[in-house]
Chains A and B, each alone.
Chain A
Amino acid sequence: MVLGFFLFRALQGWDVPRARGFAELALLLPNMVPPLFLVLALLSWVTPWSAFPYGLGAVVVAHVLMNSGLVAVSFDRMAHGKLRGLSESAWIMGSGRGAFWRDVAWPYLRADVACVFLFVFSLCFTSFSIPLALGGRSNATLEIAIFDAIRMEGRWDKAVVMAVCQSLMLFGLAFTLPHAFWPARPGRRAIGFLRLSGSRLLVFLPAAILILGWLFGGVAGLSSELLGPSFAELFDAMLTTVSIALGVALLHLVMLLIAAYVQPHFGLSRFLNGYLSPSPAITGFALLLLPGESETFALIKLIVALTLISFPLLYRWQGHMAVASLSKQTAVARTLGATWGAILTEIVWPQAAPQFLRVCGLAAFWACGDFALSGILAGPVNTLPLMMQDLMDNYQVEAAQALMFPLLILGLALYGVFTGVARYVAR
């Protein structure tokens, strides 16, 4: 939250709308990329100079890197919604920045800040892939303790009790949150009064850490010989990864349309805005209990699991805004006797489709890079992240890192396709 606050102030150094959009994208990049990329970037950064500090510290650093930009952008949107006029008045009247923050901004924003805090808390609380890869000594987080209870001890009872406690806590958070954390529209201009002078380049820090980390790791990998997979295997893994990503995107779209279709629904809104997905470990193992173990079923289970994990988060982050903005219109339409189908096709889809498709793009991007749930559920299916894991298990660390580039390109291409379609639909 603290780093996010400074990044927000640095963001106020960017005044031109296009440049601001670019800076926002850079801030959101660590949150947009799948955790695997974040892990590999951090490993590449640290290991040329010193030992990688596996453990709680590394997990915290990874989550700070991942979420600080998100916090900055949400602060920016809040400030534009509530403080823009006030800050201009304060500036004209010669108020000091400290007094403005203490006496004006804080009373206005504290409920929203609490929402952002709780969102980031629940995001880290349910994080699985990063503690799994960077946690070092186990039980670094509750998620890993749940995974260990199944893996090490075979104690499903213990794992389920812990998962229930986790879910109850998340439910509690859901009802503590006064409203959605992601505020309305992006600000097109900077709020000069809140600027942290000389720090505008700071907004690129998280993205620079990621991109340079990929370059450090990936370039070393490109010079190595890829001994393991043949082109056919690589192509099959890419096709599978794309299939899974598109399946996840489709399921997200269907769920978003359903969520919009039943609006306004106070209980559902409250639930979707506060609740984050259940433990991925439990979700993965629970889906294994369902019948069907062929490749097709493995793919379907993986798609369902990835959707269950990412949908609540993406809904809160991106989907809610689109759905909420339509709830009054749908209420009026329903009162006037419009059918459910007409509401969906005449009101929801035309207005919410661009935003929904962007959510689908992000879901596809995240699904591309999943290795934690895929490791549990993929069965005979081979995806690119699993192939990377496989290469690392066969002494070919550099080759695994080289595979990061096609995976990243694939993920970005899918995201690009969805945002392109979103732009077309918006027109």
Chain B
Amino acid sequence: MKRSRLIIFLILFTCIVFGLFFARTAYKYKFFSREPYLQKKIRILTYSTFVGSSGPGTELLDAFQAATGAKVEILTAGDAGLLLERLKLAQASGSPFDVVLGLDQLMIDDAAKDFQWKKLQLSKDSWRPEVAAKHKEDFAPFDWSPLTFVYREGSVTPPKTFDALASESYRNTFAIQDPRSSSPGLQFFEWVKAVKGKDTAAFLGEFKPNVQSIAPSWSFSYGLFKKNQAQFVFTYVTSLAFHWGVEKDRQYAVVNLPEGHPVQIEYAGIPADCRECELADQFVKHLLTPEMQKIIMQKNFMFPVLRDLEAGTVFAELPKLKTIETSTGKDLSEWDQVFKR
């Protein structure tokens, strides 16, 4: 009797678990169809936020599936910093990806060095000059934004020069990100290096007392800023589009410095060992159509690569910042020298 009870319990428990899996799948796909198995399938690797509930991924992929009839398989690598490691694992296990989405310019040197990529034939005629100037032929840019500090107007007087960031009047006001774990954090460090050159460590030493927090990720530091803990947060200029456009709150503004600002560009690439290379090429070109660029702009809160798409949107009202060329290295010795003390 006891034996049969245990067996019944285990069977029941297993059935509940499998039943839930089945219910989940059925709920997600509503009904099963043979169609997906007959279609061509493209495998895309990206970071999770891109295809998350509030990211642009789902709409982009649905539109691509509708346009081509191909099935899209999305795999994510957690955050963008893990994309290349995930790609390595995929190649090692013999299941390569057709498209990698979400590399930034700080990663594509490593990407070009460690992997073979297919050459992309793209017309740059309608691209924004800021992006066209940084184009690498193996990769297709799909969104971009300069980075700077965002603050609330009226709560603090913004610095007017780069050196003023280290001024005593801004003690304990800046929320920045760790360059080891956050791409904007690395952009900030590269920005300091680009502006201060050999004096980077000295500048960081003066800036250190003004740092309110070094968060492990952009979202944590932005959370501190939104909770009024930090007066300034290092973020994308396009963050204003969220506050102005979605929250309808115009008190947010950006620090505009004459020395120029770093730019983050997100790229897509097609690994040379792709299986559906033609479809992958179509997908990359699909990303650069005006309709898809608008979706990326509105859902990812980044500038589109194509010109003249912002008209009539809040993006057209965002301040135009001078940009600066930054390096793409990962030498953090000067950072460690100051912040690990």
User: Which residues of A are in contact with B by a Cβ distance under 8 Å?
Assistant: 43, 47-48, 50-54, 132-139, 148, 150-152, 154, 227-230, 233, 235-237, 239-240, 242-243, 246-247, 250, 253, 285, 288-291, 293-296, 299, 341-342, 344-346, 349-350, 353, 375-376, 378-380, 382, 386-387, 389-398
Contacts and interface: CB of A to CB of B under 8 A. Distances in A.
A376 B54 CA distance: 19
Contacts of A392: 219-220, 222-223
18 contacts: A51-B224, A136-B178, A152-B330, A154-B88, A228-B52, A242-B20, A243-B24, A253-B13, A288-B86, A289-B92, A291-B95, A353-B6, A389-B52, A392-B219, A393-B218, A394-B242, A395-B242, A397-B227
A296 B21 contact: yes
B74 A380 contact: yes
B297 to A, nearest CB: 14
Interface of B: 2-3, 5-7, 10, 13-14, 16-17, 20-21, 23-25, 27-28, 48-49, 51-55, 73-76, 78-79, 81-82, 84-86, 88-90, 92-93, 95, 110, 114, 172, 178, 180-181, 212-216, 218-220, 222-224, 226-227, 229-230, 239, 242-243, 246, 301, 330, 339-340
B13 A229 contact: no
Contacts of A386: 48, 52
Given A52-B213, A239-B24, A380-B74, A390 B55 contact: yes
B222 A151 contact: no
Contact of A341 (B3, B16, B54, B88): B3
A52 B89 contact: no
Majority-rule SS of A interface residues: helix
Contacts, number: 189
Contact of A380 (B75, B84, B110): B75
Nearest to A152: B180
A152 B24 contact: no
Nearest to A147: B181
Majority-rule SS of B interface residues: helix
Contacts of B90: 293
Contacts of A341: 3
Contacts of A237: 53
A349 B93 CA distance: 41
A246 B16 contact: yes
Nearest to B24: A239
A47 B27 contact: no
Contacts of B110: 154
Contacts of A285: 85, 89
Contacts of B214: 54, 136-137
Given A51-B212, A375-B78, A390-B54, A154 B84 contact: yes
B212 A393 contact: no
Given A51-B224, A379-B75, A380-B74, A387 B88 contact: no
Contacts of A391: 53-54
Given A51-B230, A250-B17, A345 B82 contact: no
Contacts of A250: 13-14, 17
B54 A375 contact: no
A339 B28 CA distance: 45
A51 B212 CA distance: 6
A250 B15 CA distance: 11
A56 B220 CA distance: 16
A293 B75 contact: yes
Contacts of A349: 2, 5-6
A379 B76 contact: yes
A108 to B, nearest CB: 40
A346 B330 CA distance: 62
Nearest to A136: B214
Given A137-B178, A380-B74, A228 B230 contact: no
A182 B212 CA distance: 42
Given A135-B216, A375-B79, A228 B53 contact: yes
10 closest cross-chain pairs (CB), A and B: A228-B54, A390-B52, A345-B3, A229-B53, A392-B219, A375-B78, A138-B180, A394-B54, A397-B223, A393-B49
A50 B229 contact: yes
Contacts of B51: 380
Contacts of B220: 43, 54, 133, 392
Given A227-B54, A228-B52, 6 more contacts: A43-B220, A51-B230, A54-B220, A152-B81, A250-B14, A392-B219
